[in-house]
Amino acid sequence: MTENLDTRRPDAPTLAGQYQPGEVEQRRYEQWVADGRFRASAHSDKPPFTIVIPPPNVTGSLHMGHALDHTVQDALVRRKRMQGFEALWLPGMDHAGIATQNVVERQLAAQGLSRHDLGREKFVERVWQWKAESGGSILGQMRRLGDSVDWDRERFTMDEGLSRAVLTMFKKLYDDGLIYRANRIINWCPRCLTALSDIEVEHSDDDGELVSIRYSDDVVVATTRAETMLGDTAVAVHPDDERYRHLIGTEVELPLTGRRIPIVGDAHVDPAFGTGMVKVTPAHDPNDFEIGQRHDLPALTIMDERGVITAPGPFEGLDRFEARPAIVAALRAEGRIVAEKRPYVHAVGHCSRCRTTVEPRLSLQWFVNTSPLAKAAGDAVRDGRVAIEPADLAKRYFAWVDNMHDWCISRQLWWGHRIPVWYGPNGEVVCVGPDEQPPTGEGWHQDEDVLDTWFSSGLWPFSTLGWPEQTAELAKFYPTSVLVTGYDILFFWVARMMMFGLYAMDGKQPFDVIALHGMVRDEHGKKMSKSFGNVVDPLDWIDRYGADATRFTLARGANPGGDVPVSEDWCQGSRNFCNKLWNATRFALLNGAHTAGPLPGAAELSTVDRWILSRLAQVTAEVDEQFEAYEFAKVCDLLYHFAWDDVCDWYVELSKPVLAAGGAAADTSRRVLGHVLDQLLRLLHPVIPFVTEELWTALTGGETVMTAAWPVADRARIDTGAEAEIATLQRVVTEVRRFRSDQGLRPTQRVAARLDGLAGAGVAAHEPLIRSLARLDAAGDDFQASATLAMPGEVSVALDTRGSIDIAAERARLTKDRAAAEKEAGQARAKLDNPAFVGKAPEHVVAKIRDRLAAAEADLTRIDAALEALPS
């Protein structure tokens, strides 16, 4: 690739012998930022394209999920810039209420302090100090990945503007009757001492125990949480269950307590599950709470906020997990344990921050009435205002928004947006907006809780653009164009943004498209986990292989909605791909390739030049089509094979003899090679920005590929005749190369050969190229064919390999190939001879089998001719 054919122009820039990402990436990124390449103007006349980054936690660092998400977003934004859009990619961070408070509390604990020692105001000051000194390290890591975000617009969910938006939204919802305070069952973390949202609860299959308890001769219930029986206030059966209908309305004594509780009939009970009887603990189970509401049952709280038993009696003061075996032992002593199943694997919720087992808990909290908001969010997708890619994930979205429960938005933390509600001495309740003064005077106090982090991030698509003010940014860039995120938070964050965006922005959706990708997994498809030991740090790959290689590896696996497997071997392959581009461009520069002046017309081009321009036109069109469908894996695969196979392995090699010969044909090849590389580097830039920037500026002399026009397929250059001609040339060269490799011939070893049938195949003019690429000399007077390669299109290559190959080994190879071809032909014939198959299979399937048979028969003809030509 790097040989010098002495045609280099005097002013050609030089490239190092190998691409070194560490010498390019930081320099290029800093120059982009200094030149303002990422800035977007609200006053531009260009059409807008907007992505607001899913805000990473201020406590977070770049992991593979982020790297995938950011690579996809950056590819979309960079392409749109090149297409002439005013492209805004808006960065920012989430204040991450629970996670951030935990970090600072751990620091205090190391000093022997708690947040209560500081008090609320001083603690919040301490968190802001931590944020200034240590938070947001992920922002620097985003720069290393190459994120082309508008850093001038960076936002934080606790900054002044976004805090104003939060207060405005709370007040609006409150005044419209969509926010209320009530005692409801919520997820509670006994370690973090706060309510949790559904997304902050991670479920896993844990070993537990299932015990069946006899309350009386007629009543047996089963439970995995025996300690909660202390709070039972009923036993429920299905009202139509013939076994127990006579018990409805009677009472049973609750063991260990002496309390009598009713037996109620409720349709929630599944008669086929267990005994068909369930214990009802309204204060400690969400389903039981609903049963309790329907039957006006009391709700007895028998644990405190730390999971310690508070019910009077022998178990008072025990932790919930200490109380469980103690209660089972007490029941066993009374002969009430009917059955025990241990271990009993069942789904258990854990706090995503500290892994503590979550406790369902009856608690006074603030809620959003989601019914009208969720309906609007569903309607926006159903009526086409918002598209979900891939479309088959829309059913998951509807399953969530159509069955959404009211949302608990209060958290028992100090770090976050404090709920703007004040309570008076006589039971007054006042919600205060951002431009209102809170009530003062003796006895007035503000609610102690803060809002769920997802409340502020639900406003992200419009609060970051200046809402509630009617800014130029909001007018220009809202609705945003596309949201790129993982399918795992479709139900939580995406749904909340949809609800709030439609509500606050008068029915205007927060984004036009929701593009969903899957989770990054290891090469075996296994979820990455520290416990599995398969977690990959993208920064490690960036250090060793470069940001481009890391990005290309992720994007090449990114199918819409599908999980993304990655491996270090694939990243090494992506680095090799970057080096391949580097070497090809270096070769082009050394040999005078350029982009000056228009391309010659088809009549002035060789078949090889017309072929590569035809391939470029087709690939450009396909890349555009796949980009619009969010098929990033297909985009990368198309460009990889076009670059590696068509450009580097074939066009560059086919050009070498032309360039060496000089003259007008060489000048044309230099221009075509320069054009093809120019367009290829533009097409690749969105995914691998650093190496393409370095190569494109060297090749073209332009300032930056970032603002170069995105390629448009020149369909007039599509030349099926040239493609067919070069395809035949490639088959001939490939078959000869395969034969040479099988025989162990050195790549540089030349072999005398006679080429027959080239004229009939339409490639007679390319005989010099075929001989050059396949290392074939002309047949002399002493030529004697020792092997003949027959190929489709009546082309045959007779080779004089006397003394060069092992005849017995070649015969064995061809015999093996013949057996495989005969087997393929036999299988195809069997299907085509089967009337049931031919009559029922779709026509395209039958046609494919016919093509397989024809190809196998052609292989048999070719192999038989080659065997016959071998010396005996």
* Amino acid in position 700: T
pTM, entire model: 0.86
Domain that holds residue 741: 724-869
Looking at the fold, whether 796 and 825 belong to one and the same domain comes out as yes
- Long-range contacts from 761-768, C-beta under 8 angstroms, 24+ separation: 761/728, 761/793, 761/794, 761/795, 762/724, 762/725, 762/728, 763/725, 763/728, 763/729, 763/732, 763/795, 765/607, 766/607, 766/725, 766/729, 768/657
Residue 862 within a domain? yes
pLDDT at 232: 96
The angle at the Cα of 519, spanning 516 to 524, to the nearest 5 degrees, equals 140
Query: Which segments of 591-648 does DSSP mark as H helices, in order?
Result: 607-628, 632-641
CB atoms within 10 A of CB 469: 12
Q: Report which of 232, 190, 228 is spatially closest to residue 323, judged by C-alpha positions.
A: 228
Summarize the annotated binding site as residue ranges.
530
CB hemisphere CA count around 556 (13 angstroms): 21
Looking at the fold, whether 661 and 580 belong to one and the same domain comes out as yes
What is the Cα–Cα distance from 434 to 164, expressed in whole angstroms? 6
CATH number of the structural domain spanning residue 84: 3.40.50.620
Q: Which two tokens stand for residue 634?
A: 């297909």
Query: Which segments of 334-370 does DSSP mark as H helices, in order?
Result: none
CB atoms within 10 A of CB 834: 12
Residue 203 within a domain? yes
What is the distance in angstroms between the CA of the first residue and the CA of the last residue of the chain? 41
What is the Cα–Cα distance from 563 to 520, expressed in whole angstroms? 6
Q: Which of 497, 517, 537 is the last residue of a domain?
A: 517
Q: Which of 667, 701, 718 is the last residue of a domain?
A: 718
- Long-range contacts from 802-809, C-beta under 8 angstroms, 24+ separation: 804/743, 804/745, 804/749, 804/751, 805/743, 805/744, 805/745, 806/743, 806/744, 807/870, 807/871, 809/742, 809/743
CATH number of the structural domain spanning residue 296: 3.90.740.10
Low-confidence ranges of the chain (pLDDT < 70): 1-12, 490, 529-532, 792, 803, 805, 869, 871-872
Which CA distances in Å does 260 have to 214, 254, 264, 275, 549? 14, 6, 13, 21, 69
What is the Cα–Cα distance from 648 to 319, expressed in whole angstroms? 68
What is the Cα–Cα distance from 461 to 162, expressed in whole angstroms? 11
What is the Cα–Cα distance from 584 to 643, expressed in whole angstroms? 9
pLDDT at 858: 85
For the chain, the maximum distance between any two Cα atoms, rounded to a whole number of angstroms, is 117
Residue 522 within a domain? no
Residue 790 within a domain? yes
Looking at the fold, whether 443 and 575 belong to one and the same domain comes out as no
What is the Cα–Cα distance from 761 to 763, expressed in whole angstroms? 6
Looking at the fold, whether 341 and 389 belong to one and the same domain comes out as no
Residue 556 within a domain? no
Looking at the fold, whether 705 and 576 belong to one and the same domain comes out as yes
Looking at the fold, whether 820 and 864 belong to one and the same domain comes out as yes
Residue 279 within a domain? yes
Q: CB-based contacts of 849: which residues, under 8 Å, 6+ apart?
A: 828, 831, 832
Report the domain count for the chain: 4
Q: Which of 360, 386, 419 is the last residue of a domain?
A: 360
Looking at the fold, whether 705 and 566 belong to one and the same domain comes out as yes
pLDDT at 3: 39
699-710 pLDDT, tens digit each: 999 999 999 999
Looking at the fold, whether 707 and 568 belong to one and the same domain comes out as yes
Looking at the fold, whether 704 and 578 belong to one and the same domain comes out as yes
CATH number of the structural domain spanning residue 613: 1.10.730.10
pLDDT at 12: 63
Residue 7 within a domain? no
pLDDT at 793: 72
What is the Cα–Cα distance from 411 to 415, expressed in whole angstroms? 10
Summarize the annotated binding site for ATP as residue ranges.
530
Looking at the fold, whether 465 and 417 belong to one and the same domain comes out as yes
Residue reference for tokens 């854990």: 350
Q: Which two tokens stand for residue 264?
A: 């109620």
Looking at the fold, whether 568 and 659 belong to one and the same domain comes out as yes
Residue 538 within a domain? no
Looking at the fold, whether 272 and 349 belong to one and the same domain comes out as yes
